[in-house]
C-alpha cells in the first residue's frame, strides 16, 4: 500500500454523518482548525469548505470506494470521526419493530467497523492516526426503552478499546467521545428530552474533538470523555500524568471484597 507521490501536506479528516447535527459542527470546527475535511453522508451534502461524498456507511463496497477515493486524492487520512448514527422509537424491547431495532445496531456498529476496517491500514502505512467514535452515556447504563441504542453504544466502546489496544504498536489511537445532549433533530425526536431547556454546547464537543485530533489527549486512547461534563484542562493533565488501568472504560462493577469476578 504505497501513498501517492504527492500526498497532502495538510492533515486530512474523514467525518461520517457530516451533513447536519454534530457531524456538521465537527466538520466546521476542523475546517477552522486548518484541516482538509471529507464528509460522508447519504446525500453527499456537507458544510461549505469540505468535500462531500455520498456514502452508505453500512455498505462495505461503498465505504471502501470512498476511502480509496480519499487516499487517491489526498494520500492520507489522519483522523476518522465515526459520527453517523441512529436511534430507535422509545419503547420496551418486546414492543420494538424488529427491523427498526436491528437497523440501529447495523448503523451504529457495522458503520464504524467498516470505516475503521478500511481506514486503519492506511493509517498504519503512514505511521499512525486517530479515530474518534461518537459514543454516549447510554453505553454504560441499561435503558428500559432504548435497548438497541444502548447496546450499540456499548458495542462501539468495545470496538474503540480493541482498536486502541491493537493499534498502539502502530501509532493508531482510538477514543470514545460522548457529546452530552446536543440540540439536534434526533434529540428533539426523543421523548426523554421533552421540555428540555438546557443543552450541551456544540463548542464543548468540538473543543474536545480538536484536543483529541491535535494529540493533546492521547493518554485517553481506548477511553471515554464526555462533553459538557469533563473539564478540558483536567483531561489534559490526566492524559499527561497517566490513568490507571480501567479508568474511563466499560467494566463489570464488583460487589466488593470477595467478588470472584473482580472489578
Known catalytic residues are: 149
Q: How many CB atoms lie within 10 A of CB 47?
A: 20
**Dihedral, CA of residue 38, residue 41, residue 43 and residue 47, to nearest 10:** -50
Q: What distances in angstroms separate CA 79 from CA 10, 30, 45, 216, one per listed residue?
A: 12, 10, 20, 14
Is residue 138 within 8 Å of 146, Cβ to Cβ?
Answer: yes
Neighbours of 75 (CB within 10 A): 18
According to DSSP H, which parts of 75-201 are helical?
Answer: 98-105, 111-126, 147-167, 185-188
End-to-end Cα distance, the chain: 42
Q: What is the DSSP letter of 109?
A: I
Q: By C-alpha distance, which of 253, 251, 221 is closest to 238?
A: 221
Which helix (DSSP H) or strand (DSSP E) does residue 133 occupy? strand 129-134
Amino acid at each position: 500500500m504505497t501513498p501517492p507521490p504527492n500526498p497532502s501536506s495538510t492533515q486530512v479528516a474523514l467525518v461520517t454523518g457530516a451533513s447536519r447535527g454534530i457531524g456538521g459542527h465537527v466538520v466546521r470546527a476542523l475546517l477552522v482548525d486548518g484541516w482538509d475535511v471529507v464528509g460522508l453522508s447519504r446525500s453527499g451534502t456537507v458544510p461549505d469548505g469540505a468535500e462531500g461524498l455520498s456514502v452508505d456507511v453500512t455498505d462495505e463496497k461503498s465505504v471502501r470506494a470512498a476511502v480509496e477515493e480519499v487516499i487517491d486524492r489526498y494520500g492520507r487520512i489522519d483522523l476518522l470521526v465515526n459520527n453517523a448514527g441512529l436511534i430507535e422509537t422509545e419503547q420496551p424491547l418486546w414492543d420494538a419493530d424488529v427491523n427498526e431495532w436491528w437497523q440501529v445496531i447495523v448503523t451504529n456498529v457495522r458503520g464504524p467497523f467498516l470505516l475503521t476496517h478500511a481506514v486503519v491500514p492506511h493509517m498504519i502505512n503512514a505511521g499512525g492516526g486517530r479515530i474518534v467514535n461518537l459514543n454516549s452515556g447510554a453505553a454504560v447504563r441499561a435503558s428500559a426503552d432504548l435497548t438497541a441504542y444502548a447496546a450499540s453504544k456499548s458495542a462501539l466502546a468495545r470496538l474503540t478499546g480493541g482498536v486502541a489496544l491493537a493499534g498502539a504498536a502502530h501509532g493508531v489511537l482510538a477514543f470514545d467521545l460522548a457529546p452530552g445532549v446536543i440540540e439536534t433533530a434526533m434529540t428533539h425526536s426523543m421523548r426523554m428530552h421533552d421540555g428540555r431547556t438546557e443543552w450541551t454546547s456544540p463548542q464543548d464537543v468540538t473543543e474536545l474533538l480538536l484536543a483529541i485530533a491535535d494529540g493533546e489527549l492521547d493518554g485517553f486512547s481506548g477511553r471515554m470523555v464526555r462533553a459538557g461534563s469533563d473539564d478540558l484542562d483536567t483531561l489534559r493533565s490526566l492524559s499527561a500524568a497517566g490513568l490507571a488501568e480501567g479508568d474511563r472504560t466499560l467494566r463489570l462493577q464488583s460487589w466488593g471484597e470477595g467478588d470472584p469476578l473482580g472489578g
